[in-house]
Structure 1
Amino acid sequence: MVSASRRLSGANIWISQFWKNQSLHSVPLDLDVRLRRLDLSNNFIRQLNTLVLPFLEQLDLSSNQLDLISEGAFENLAQLEELNLSRNMLNNNLGSNSKALQSISRLRNLDISMNSLSDDAAELYLQNKPSLNHLKMTGNSLTRLSHNLFKESKDLRTITIDGNLISVIEQGTFEPLLQLETLNLARNNLAHICDFKLYQVKYLNLSRNSVEFFVTHEDDRSYGLELLDLSFNKLLYFPIVPKMNRLKYLYLQNNMVGILNSEAEMVSGANSLYNDITNKRIVTKNYLHSIWRQMPVIYIDLSYNHFTSFPLETLSLVSSLVTLNFSHNCLDSENHRYLYFHSLKHLDLQSNGLVYVSPFFLNALTQIDELNLQDNSVQPCALVDHLGNSQSTQETNLNTSCVDLRLLRTLQHLNLKENNIKKLHANTFRGTSLVSLNLAGNSHMAMDVSTLEGVQNTLQSLIISEMNMTSSDLLLPCLPALTQLNVSNNQLDIIPSSLHCSPLREIDIKNNRFVSLNYSLIHTLSEHLNLIYVGGNSFNCCDSKWLKILNDSEVNLPDIGNTECFTEDSKNMMMMAEYLNSSAAYCLFHRKAQEVHFGQLLIIILFLFVILSAFIIFTRRLCSLHNFPRIRNDLLNNAIQHLLSVSV
């Protein structure tokens, strides 16, 4: 069924019709000639004849079976600016189809992706496109980009030709496009960039090719490059980018950088490559470091490479670097050089096999805010400075069996998940400025009662899940700033009472051994609490006062519908939310039955007490009669036997 929209504002009339997903085999007849936008996507249209829509500005024919466009199909679309022909069969009938497209000279946006277009077909479709600003040719069959491809589209600003088979780019293909800002050549077969000369381009995506090196001749021209994506390639060296650039974001993940034996060898290799490409016979300059020293980069992703040591010499040159992703490498060596990262705030070292991090390296992180050490083998140092002097502190810092996290004065966010930590000693984090701490997955870790001493007033988020921890193991001080706590996947049955002073907004206690929750503590926490996860526990169905408190406080329990509970009269588990909807009468009867049972037992005990007291008094009187000892003993024995039989 067609949907339509209409906008009227004085002389401004905007009319749209949407025929998307209507199983159409042809364009509907009697379309409103005032249409500005027409959506015919996701149908079965195979042929397009003449359209008489003089005001049409946007036409979407994507995802049809279009393979024949009559030569005059677009002649009466004088205002057409956006045309989407993606996911069709435009590799057929090139003569008629290309002539039809050549008749549209006002086009600004053209999408001809997923049409199996060859190099020659692409050139035909792009003729007579002087106004074109944005072109998308994703997923075709282009193998070579010639200097003729865009010669009639000099105003292009965005070109997306990803997912083709391009291995060759002729010189002069992109250079004349002075307005070009975004170029996406991802998922092709490019092997190298020998001389990058696109001064105007700001965003260049070369990811998922086979690029082995990226080299730019040194010159004094200013480049607009701000983002360079070379991820998922075969780089052996850091790229040699333009000397005068505006580069801020550099993506180098999933390459082979660092596979050489040392940083020195990698730098030397890059400089030799530069000299070979530029035909310089004598190596007289470290071009790589000279250029990297001037880069205004704030973000570098070097994850999933092959570094065995941290490339301090190179990365420390980038004085503006704020975020560095160095995860999933093979770091195993230490460094004792005094180099500094004056701007680095976010460092990701996840999955590197780290056991030791040099204090020299930690001291270099003068502005560090976030450190991710997940999935390593880091053991935080214990405080051994009993003498209170610098010598003992220095000895602690040189202890290669642990990492002294207290050197990171500015650190606010620390991830120590899955490090197989054995013990967190007292004052482990003293001196830092921790706001969030993740200790999850250290399944055999023990915490000292003073582990969080020094950060208890700043800590806002604490994750201690998946640690096989019991309630007696969980030793938490008063944490007056804590707003988020995750203790899921442990063996806890009690929430620490010390949390009563925490303004918690979110708690995760799922997959533990809770039967009930402390009413008083829950009542206190509910003043700030917004969210609590409780699934995976076995609660007592009829001990649900804590749940009423949470419901009355409108606390969100997202998994209460999947939470199970039990009753004392049944060994079967049932869904708690469903049970509570109809359990009031049962739980009330259950409690009354317990009360009746206790009352009956009390009456029997009182009755026996009275009878026994009477007989004791009676026997005492008999005891005063010395003439009837046998009678007294017989009466006493009979009385006791009678009492025993009554009680049974």
Structure 2
Amino acid sequence: MLQRAEKVQSTPTKPPREHEKMPGIRVFLYFGLVAVLPVLCYPHTPCTLTQKTAICNNLQLSSVPSNLPQQIEELFLNQNIISKLQNGCLSSYPFLRTLSCANCYLKAVDVQVFSRSHWIETLNFASNELHNDYKLLSQALGLLTNLRFLDFSANGLTEDMVSELLHNLTSLEFLDLSRNALLRLDEYTFQDLHQLKELNLERNNLFEIDGAFDKLKKLRRLNLAFNSLPCLVKFDMTQLVVLNASHNLIEWFITNQDITDTFELETLDLTDNRLLYFPFLPTYNRIKTLLLPNNHIGFYSHLSQNTSLNWTNTIEFYNLGGNASNVTAELWNDDLYGDISSVEFLDLSVNQVRYFPQGFLQKMPHLYWLRMRSNCLESLNLTGDYLPVTVYELDVSNNRLTELHAHSSSVSELNNLTHLNLSLNNIQKLPPRLFTTLPRLSFVDLSYNTVGMCHPKELPNLNSSACALWTPLPSLKQLHIAGCNLINIPPSAFDGTQLTHLDLSHNPDLHFSQDCLSGLSGTLQHLGLSNTGLQDFNFSPFRQLKSLNISKNSISELPASLMTLNLKLLDLRDNRLPTIKPEHATVLAKRVQIVYMNGNYFNCCQLEWYRTFEESKILHVADLLEITCVDLHQQRKKAGVFDSVLCGGKSREESIFWYILLFLSVGVSMVGVSVIYFLTFRPRLLPRVIKKKCWKPTTY
């Protein structure tokens, strides 16, 4: 519409003659014609038209609309009920480049449906039922000589169907076959896709891919995730940049060691498999991201030193045809991991690594992220001789560490280390000044270890101690020392730091005074004091506090100092609060955004605060429906459905129950008085009235 208007406006016109200069008349007719033309050209349609795109999604259409502009290049028909694309349904749109019919219950496509749509580049048929009549569809696709993007995901296709559908699609660059019924692939499946760059085979039932990708010389990204592949042996795709083989049953990943060319592989994802050994990577590669979590990886050279065990040193691989492969490996040689010099991100979380081979980490001079969560590490040296000096994040949480080893001279070389997670170990000793010698340390999680806090003025001059010093450390922003069996916090323990996050939770015997945290009053934003035996504390100095967790304590009255803060999150669960003062509830309802309240001993007859929180448009009580209270009979009730009338006091709104009970009592009393009156003063009148109303003569 706009293009047509611009075209008319840009048409050159001659200067008007004198008799044509009638003010407003020609101008009005000109713009009136422009406004009417689009209506004549484009009839009413329920689709949304934007430039050269027609969006007709979710309109309950049973066929392709025929009244759309002829110039459209993109047509989206997703989530309709088009069971068949018939010949001629696209003939009105010769410039079409993108057609999307995802989730349309599509079962068939006529052979000549694309006869006038030679420009189509993108075709999306995801989530349909094209396995029903795939042979006709194969013939129809043969007319699309410019097709580059094809999505056949979730169509119930088998490998034989796919082979026929992809026949002669030589221009295809991106192909999605995820969520189908593929079992095995061979060298003929993709033999014509010489231009293919990206292939998605996720969530099929693949257990064999023998030679399927040999002819895909331009393939850069391959997704094999969520299948049933048992191994990847003799991997030789040198051109591949990204390989995702996660969530399979892979026990071995071995590249073809005879290839001397450099592999272009940058990302290798083998997450959630059954790998027993570190993958045998190419001799020359460019791998930057190596993802290996949730496997059974370990290093085993220590086993070969035990001569009493009759271990085999090599292994042969067999394919499903029963022919032996010539791939062998020395199982106990820890040096068979190939080239790891370019690795920047290594994730070995949830494996069985007890140690690293000598010099293993030093062979990764560009390593920035090392994640070793949930392994079996028994020792760790935080030195530049053991770790690459480039390490930015180190996560060794949930291992078997009992002691950290470090030397001040070599620790200072780790000047890039910023995030350090040591939680869930059994660390009992470490160099007390370890953390203060790391110049860029910003995040430390030492939770659930047995490490105390050293007094800055009483620090023992030892190489190993049961406490750690946290001052001065100006780079530190987040410190988590929950569950460390802390007894006390020394005065000025955090002076010289600028902590924004401090978690002291789950230290039930912790004793600390007001001045222990005084150095953090200007920076602290998130404070965790859950299960610390807290009863009362003055929070008013911490003006920057945004999140406060004081759950699982013995707080019987909400600290008044909280009313001075602009908290965003407040956790009050599992305390001993009987109620919240109305004035405090009003303040919290206007300032706090999220609050947790359940697990207290709230009085059911003092729930004014509950109504205030419930009606607030700012405050969100995350566990509002779970909050309980104790009634007059010491029984737990849901606070949201408790009727305050049962408290015996005046409810917030007058209940009609009392009026009904009053009138009922008066009515019963009047009836009783009337009966007594008749029985006493009119004893004959009452039987006569009853006889008149109830006794009727009976005919025999």
Report whether the alignment pairs 1:457 with 2:497: yes
**1:446 alignment partner, one of 487, 490, 499:** 487
Asked if 2 retains the 8 angstrom alpha-carbon contact of 1:425 and 1:451, the reply is no
Q: Does 1:170 align with 2:200?
A: no
Secondary structure, counterpart of 1:214 in structure 2: strand
Quote the residue 2:55 is aligned against: 17
2:222 counterpart residue number: 183
Match of 1:231 among 271, 274, 289: 271
1:368-379 paired onto structure 2 within 5 Å: 368-379=417-428
User: Does the 8 A contact of 2:403 with 2:429 survive in 1?
Assistant: no
CA displacement at 1:490 relative to structure 2 = 4.7
Q: Mapping of 1:393-404 within 5 angstroms?
A: none
Q: Deviations over 1:81-121 (max 9, x none)?
A: 21111222222223212112222222111111112212221
Q: Structure 1 pair 263/450, CA: closer, same or farther in 2 (3 Å)?
A: farther
> Cα deviation per residue 1:398-429 (whole Å; 9 max; x = unaligned)?
xxxxxx6556454321112333x374332423
| Cα pair distance change 1:330/1:124, threshold 3 Å | same
- Decide which of 43, 48, 54 is 1:5's aligned counterpart: 48
- Cα separation, 2, equivalents of 1:447 and 1:508: 19
What CA distance in whole angstroms lies between the structure 2 residues aligned with 1:95 and 1:321?
51
| 1:116 is the counterpart of 2:148 | no
Task: Tell me, yes or no, if the aligned pair for 2:299 and 2:357 is still in contact at 8 Å.
Answer: no
Which residue matches 1:348? 395
Is the contact made by 2:277 and 2:299 (CA closer than 8 Å) also made in structure 1?
Answer: no
User: Tell me, what secondary structure is at the counterpart of 2:363?
Assistant: coil
For residue 436 of structure 1, the aligned residue among 465, 478, 485 is: 478
- Structure 1-normalised TM-score? 0.72
Equivalence for 1:209: 248
Q: Structure 1's 381 and 177: CA in aligned 2 closer, same or farther, altered over 3 A?
A: closer
| Letter aligned with residue 482 of structure 1 | L
Three-state SS of the structure 1 residue aligned to 2:234 is coil
1:500-539 to 2 correspondence within 5 Å?
500=541, 503-509=544-550, 512=553, 513=555, 515-519=557-561, 523=564, 526=565, 529=566, 531-536=568-573, 538=577
Distance in 1 separating the partners of 2:510 and 2:335: 58
Match of 2:102 in 1: 62
Pairing 1:328–2:366 present: no
CA distance 1:95–1:80, change in 2 (3 Å)? same
Could you say if the C-alpha distance between residues 426 and 16 of structure 1 is closer, same or farther in structure 2, counting changes exceeding 3 Å?
Answer: same
CA contact (8 A) 2:492 2:518 kept: no
Distance 2:205 2:380 in 1: 43
Q: Amino acid of the residue matched to residue 445 of structure 1?
A: L
Deviation at 1:345, TM superposition (A): 1.8
CA distance in 2, matches of 1:477, 1:183: 55
Q: Could you give the per-residue CA deviations for residues 16-35 of structure 1, whole angstroms, max 9, x where no partner exists?
A: 13232x44444445444433
AA partner of residue 339 (structure 2): I
1:131 is displaced (CA, Å) by 2.1
Deviation at 1:230, TM superposition (A): 1.2
* The 10-residue stretch of structure 1 (198-207 or 471-480) with the greater mean CA deviation from structure 2: 471-480
What letter matches 1:414 in structure 2? V
Q: What do residues 61-94 of structure 1 show as CA deviations (whole Å, max 9, x unaligned)?
A: 2223222221112222222221111222222223
**Alignment CA distance shift 1:573-1:562 (3 Å):** farther
Q: Deviations for 1:332-375, whole angstroms, at most 9, x for unmatched residues? A: 35679953321112111122233323337994856422111222
1:580–1:49 Cα change, 3 Å? closer
Counterparts in 2 of 1:7 and 1:179: CA distance versus 1, 3 Å: same
Are the aligned partners of 1:470 and 1:491 in contact in 2 as well (CA < 8 Å)?
yes
Contact 1:426 1:449 in 2 (8 A): yes
Equivalent residue, structure 2, for 1:308: 354
1:227-264 Cα offsets, whole Å, 9 max, x none, are 00112222222122223322110011111111747498
Read off the aligned partner of 1:425 and give its amino acid letter. Answer: C
Question: What does the per-residue CA deviation read over 1:252-277, in whole Å, with 9 as the maximum and x for residues that have no partner?
Answer: 111111174749889xx999669997
Does the residue aligned with 1:98 lie in a helix, a strand or coil? helix
RMSD (Å), alpha carbons: 4.0
Secondary structure of the residue aligned to 1:110 is strand
Q: Is the 8 A contact 1:236 1:257 kept in 2?
A: yes
Q: 1:435·1:458 contact (CA, 8 Å) conserved in 2?
A: yes
For residues 485 and 579 of structure 1, the distance between their equivalents in structure 2, rounded to whole angstroms, comes to 26
- Asked if the contact 2:126–2:155 (Cα under 8 Å) also holds between the matched residues in 1, the reply is yes
Would the aligned equivalents of 2:505 and 2:528 in 1 still touch at CA under 8 Å?
Answer: yes
Q: Does 1:476 align with 2:517?
A: yes
Cα distance in 2 between the residues matched to 1:561 and 1:18: 47
User: How far off is 1:176 after superposition?
Assistant: 3.5
Q: Does structure 2 conserve the Cα–Cα contact (< 8 Å) formed by 1:380 and 1:405?
A: no
Label 1:451 to 1:243 Cα distance change in 2 as closer, same or farther (>3 A): farther
State the 1:539 CA deviation: 7.8
TM-score (normalised: structure 2): 0.67
Corresponding residue number in structure 1 for 2:461:
none
Residues in 2 aligned to 1:434 and 1:467: alpha-carbon distance in whole angstroms: 21
Quick one: distance in 2 between partners of 1:359 and 1:277? 47
Work out whether residues 541 and 579 of structure 1, in 8 Å CA contact, stay in contact via their aligned partners in 2: no
1:100-146 Cα offsets, whole Å, 9 max, x none, are 22222221111111122122210111123222111000122222322
Read off the aligned partner of 1:417 and give its amino acid letter.
S
- 1:89 aligned counterpart, secondary structure: coil
Letter in 2 for 1:325: R
Question: Are 2:594 and 1:558 equivalent residues in the alignment?
Answer: yes
Report the number of matched residues. 537
Tell me the residue number matched to 2:444: 414
Alpha-carbon distance, 1:199 to partner: 2.0
- Provide the rounded CA distance (Å) in 1 between the counterparts of 2:491 and 2:233: 58
- d(CA) in 2 for partners of 1:170, 1:270: 28
CA contact (8 A) 2:106 2:129 kept: yes
- Specify the SS of the correspondent of 1:44: coil
Secondary structure of residue in 1 paired with 2:518? coil
Shift of 1:223: 2.1
Work out whether 1:339 is the aligned partner of 2:391. no
Matches within 5 A, 1:37-116: 37-50=74-87, 51=89, 52=91, 53-116=93-156
3-state SS in 1 of match to 2:253: coil
1:332–1:353 contact (8 Å) kept in structure 2: yes
Tell me how far apart the structure 1 counterparts of residues 337 and 199 of structure 2 sit (CA, whole Å). Answer: 32
8 A contact 2:279–2:337 mirrored in 1: no
Letter in 1 for 2:55: Q
Q: Distance in 2 between matches of 1:242 and 1:98?
A: 39
Native 8 Å contact 1:324 1:347 kept in 2: yes
The verdict on how the C-alpha distance between 1:43 and 1:410 changes in structure 2, with shifts beyond 3 A counting, is same
Report the CA distance shift for 1:109/1:270 in structure 2 as closer, same or farther (over 3 A).
farther
Q: Aligned partners of 2:299 and 2:327: how far apart in 1?
A: 26
Partner of 1:426: 455
Call closer, same or farther: CA 1:206–1:566 in 2, change over 3 Å: closer
Aligned to 1:359: 406
Unaligned runs of 5+ in 2: 1-43, 318-323, 457-467, 617-700
1:199 aligned partner, one-letter code: T
Q: What is the distance in 2 between the residues matched to 1:68 and 1:197?
A: 39
Q: Distance in 1 between matches of 2:268 and 2:356?
A: 22
Partner Cα distance (1:578, 1:453) in 2: 36
Q: Distance in 2 between matches of 1:107 and 1:263?
A: 56
Instruction: Name the CA distance, whole Å, in 2 between partners of 1:533 and 1:501.
Output: 14
Aligned to 1:288: 336
